[in-house]
Amino acid sequence: MKVHLRVFVEVENLGKAMNALTDAGITGFYVLEYKGMSPQDWKGFSIKEDPKSAISMIRDYATDAVLVCCVVEEETVDIIVESISETLKGEKYTILEVPIRRIVVNYGDQEKTERAETWFLEKEVPCFYCGENAVQRIKVDTNKAKIWCTNCGTARYYVIKGAEKGEK
């Protein structure tokens, strides 16, 4: 069974959460920005019940947060949750697992294109972050790349905006 995994984090922890998800094997996700308040933050407030007052209060008092969502196999959820828990130890976060009964993907009139091969490379060079001479692991997909240091674990992400297609 597939699971829709939802990870709520404060904005300043977005990079940590995305790195934890990627390190746990997530291959894709989407992010939604929002303003949120936990029940303990809301406790004691009393506002008028008109929408403008409620929205005004949320704008003034709520925390900027992000919802990172991905679809994963049920068997991988525990590994992913463990990775997030370890990475965000001491930080505020919420994880929801929502079972998925069905997924329907419609490509419309687009032809389904063949997926390019993923490349995995390694090169020993000074790290851009810690400065130590260490192996940098590189993963290149069709439209994105990730480079991470085996010494300090810091990762960089790149989006490839375009590519030339060779002649047939």
Residues 154 and 124 in one domain: yes
Does 97 have pLDDT greater than 60? yes
Residues 70 and 138 in one domain: no
Confidence band (pLDDT; 50, 70, 90) for 112?
low
In order of 2, 28, 36, 97, the CA distances from 74 in angstroms are 5, 16, 28, 9
- Contact, 132 vs 151, CB < 8 A? yes
Tokens 């990627």 locate to 22
Asked whether residue 111 is assigned to any structural domain, the reply reads no
List the domain range (segments joined by +) for residue 140.
119-159
Asked whether residue 44 is assigned to any structural domain, the reply reads yes
What is the reported pTM? Answer: 0.57
Asked whether residue 96 is assigned to any structural domain, the reply reads yes
Query: Based on the structure, what is the number of domains in the chain?
Result: 2
